[in-house]
Amino acid sequence: MTSDLKVRLLLVALLLPVSLAAASGNYTFSCWKNGWRKNAEDHSADVFVLETRHYGFALDVADFRNVGLGRLSNPPAYEEALRRRAEELESLAPADLLIEIEIDGTSYRAKTCAAGQTDAVKHLASVRLWESGRFVQHYDFLQLDFRDDQGHRLDCESRLDLVAWPESLTLNLHVSPKFDHSRATLRLALNSEVGNWAQETKIDGPWNVGQEKGVSMTCAVASVNQLPKPAIAVRTENGQSIPVHFDDEKNCYVATAKRLKRDWETGYTDIRHYDDFLVSVAGSRSNQTVPFLLDLRPPANVTGVCPILCDQEGCPLGIPVQLSKNWHYEPMGSYLMAYAMLPADKSTTYRLRVVYGFYGTLPSASHAQLSLVGYSKSGGNGRWDQLAIGCWGESICFDMDMSLVDVAITDTRMLMARRGLEGRKWSWTNAGWGGDWLNIEDDGQAKYFQNNLRTAYLSQGPCLTNVQHEGYYGANQEVDFSAGIQTLRTDDYCRTFQNLSYTFKGDVSAKKISLFKLGRTHGYQTPQIAYGNLDGLVEQRAFSESVDQAPVFLEAFELPGDAPHWVALTGAAEASARNPKPNGYRALIIRKYKAVLGAETYKNPTLRVPVHQSKPANLDIELLPPRGISRFRRGDRIELAVELITLPREADDYYGPNETFRKHLTENPNSWKTTYREAKGNRLDVTVTGGKELQNYPLVIQVNKPEVSVAIKGGVGAVPICFEGLASCEGVRLHRIVNGKRILFDQAVHGNDFWQTDFDIASGTYNMTFNLPLDESKESEWILTP
């Protein structure tokens, strides 16, 4: 970085409105300290933990007397906070939490809940995750156990609802009696070193069976200042007025948009319009922000949705919007909960743009926190992340808490796929199920489960998502791990980028271990497997049904040659469904494999191909440590960069607009060449002037001068390019050099709707992301100008 640029960035940081810094710099995390899912021998406490930019909170669900609350000093930026293991969270000052019901002079106090009264594998399912993201953590704890001093239990239905913002913690108690009562008082109190809070609700007169009553208490943990009380007005682009009120239980302003009137088709179709909300905030002349929630029911299509905060002209501002949603809970129906912290230092009208199928000319990308409340009666209420390209079902899902299943990767699906030329478009698809990250079994643990897992939603779309996870594997936190997940805006096929690292904190001797797995798909057949490297195909082998099938089709072997290495389940298809969804196959591209084990470094991946089932013939894929290694020492580290793609078998199964891809499928049906095309074609040759290449694919450029030139050789699909370190995003434009002339790059359909802006609070600079159509260009040159 040049000295001139450093000075300019320093001035920008000093001139940034404090409210903008607060809007982007505030954050929250939630996690289970000892993990959601555990082995039967693990009897560690179920401790629920909150960490925000300002405070930490811990609650033992088996014993509400074990509560910790304290302010956190020297808070880092959001991404840095994810990677930092805050020692202060381990030593939070004790606090006293009172949850009490007084009935006819007898007091009943809750000291636990349903989750704390059993050790079943999925006992934490009775702590339900509703919304979790950058700004808000919203959970509820079901079936509180109220008892009097003699241990007599109060028979009632109850739940404790918890909503955490960066500076506050709100508790809401809801109770319904199972017997009629004449008088009662509901009480909440929290006493701690950082403050004391108490609220009560008196019920005078009859309190009948099934009649729900409640009390709400907000603890302003980090600030004694009152929330700003600006006038907020919300309306749609077509003039519908959206009611706004301050919700005490959510501790924010809520705009409730129900059953919007739209003049365009919704549901499973090629939605190319947006729900645009004009949010007007009257300035308060303070440096505070306004906590805001758009409660949208139902979205035009909930399976793919991405809210973006823009100026009135639709230019993305870089102010984050939390994306939380649910389509499983029947009493509420499909909904989007879009949280933001709106700068309130001056009167402003924002355009809150809700994107669905397309953003500009290409299908949009989204990475949502999807609540599974209402989906299953046997678990599944933990953290579940759902990615989509467009709005025609999921692209891939991750069960991060392993609350529903015991693996990280679940559903994988196709983009713009159908069953032949006459097949249905714009609907759900299939590409197989299941996969996992690090999987270790030793003499003491049947599986190393994740714990202390925290998630930072750095960007949830619409051009390139970026979500980071940090935590541990093993009951004794034997392995420190991180995972970065991304998907992109494109029009050919699904790509999910997974950057994984495992660092061993102690000695581990594994009976079984895999670093990454693709498989555990039922009802699928994989007639062949192909694998190769940068130079092309190494081997292709057929696989068929056999009565006496061996448990392993290919024993562990090292993939030869230079990266990227790749493996494809070419031609895989659904085998058992009577009316199968449009479906295709999966392939894995290993762009980086680095295992530093003791004094040795290994860069070629080791592959194993187990048989999942023999009828129908079905294979899994496993990436392993170097052959023969099952013992790891403190400090050993493994890094993986894998790209999971899902592909149609032939051209008639693809209905998207990418003619280059269609032509390739026509010439190469059911071929390993489709995977190789992606592996080699997106190994980009990049030359940068005025900046520096930080990452090859997706392409990341550090801006060092006001004008940056990027020359690219190669590229398949809509290649993401992110420019980092911009002093401002206002007026910045991207040009393509065509025959020596600068041609303004423009994929807009509704005005300024083809790029993504993110604000980096740590540097006080902006990132801008575009998706470059490089399919038809062996070489291209691009220039970013202020």
Q: How many residues does the chain have?
A: 786
Q: Which two tokens stand for residue 518?
A: 């693709």
pLDDT band at 8 (very low <50, low <70, confident <90, very high): very low
201 and 215 Cβ atoms separated by less than 8 Å? yes
Segment 216-249, tens digit of pLDDT: 999 999 875 555 567 899 999 999 999 999 999 9
Q: Helix and strand tally (H, E) in the chain?
A: 5, 62
Segment 448-469, tens digit of pLDDT: 999 999 999 999 999 999 999 9
**Percentage of residues in the chain having pLDDT higher than 90:** 87
DSSP E strand boundaries for 526-682: 528-533, 536-542, 552-558, 565-568, 573-574, 585-597, 600-602, 606-613, 618-619, 621-624, 631-632, 637-647
**Of 183, 182, 187, 156, the residue nearest 171 (C-alpha):** 187
Segment 634-679, tens digit of pLDDT: 999 999 999 999 999 999 999 999 999 999 999 999 999 999 999 9
Q: How far is CA 539 from CA 138, 528, 589, 604, 606, in A?
A: 50, 11, 15, 16, 15
Residue type, 282: A
**Of 240, 433, 251, 455, the residue nearest 369 (C-alpha):** 455
User: Residue range 515-535: average pLDDT?
Assistant: 94
Q: How far apart are CA 228 and CA 288, in angstroms?
A: 7
565 and 605 Cβ atoms separated by less than 8 Å? yes
pLDDT band at 548 (very low <50, low <70, confident <90, very high): low
Please give the CATH topology (third level) of the domain spanning 685-785. Immunoglobulin-like (2.60.40)
137 and 375 Cβ atoms separated by less than 8 Å? no
113 and 63 Cβ atoms separated by less than 8 Å? no
Q: How far is CA 534 from CA 291, 334, 416, 571, in A?
A: 50, 45, 28, 22
**Percentage of residues in the chain having pLDDT higher than 70:** 96
pLDDT band at 163 (very low <50, low <70, confident <90, very high): very high
Q: How far apart are CA 154 and CA 147, in angstroms?
A: 6
| Residue carrying structure tokens 């919700």 | 247
Q: How far apart are CA 693 and CA 681, in angstroms?
A: 18
User: Residue range 171-184: average pLDDT?
Assistant: 95
Q: Identify the pLDDT of residue 777.
A: 86
| Residue carrying structure tokens 């949009």 | 364
Q: How far apart are CA 626 and CA 268, in angstroms?
A: 46
Q: Identify the pLDDT of residue 289.
A: 87
387 and 399 Cβ atoms separated by less than 8 Å? no
Residue type, 54: H
pLDDT exceeds cutoff 50 at 1: no
pLDDT exceeds cutoff 70 at 3: no
pTM for this entry? 0.96
Q: How far apart are the first and last CA of the chain?
A: 17
Query: What are the extents of the domains in the chain?
Result: 24-165+169-219, 232-356, 421-681, 685-785
Segment 593-644, tens digit of pLDDT: 999 999 999 999 999 999 998 888 899 999 999 988 989 999 999 999 999 9
User: Residue range 718-735: average pLDDT?
Assistant: 96
Q: Identify the pLDDT of residue 10.
A: 42
Segment 247-260, tens digit of pLDDT: 999 999 999 999 99
For residue 588, give the 3-state DSSP assignment.
strand
Calculate the dihedral angle through the C-alpha atoms of 506, 512, 517, 521, rounding to the nearest 10 degrees: -140
Segment 335-389, tens digit of pLDDT: 999 999 999 888 999 999 999 999 999 999 999 999 999 999 888 899 999 999 9
For the chain, the average pLDDT equals: 94
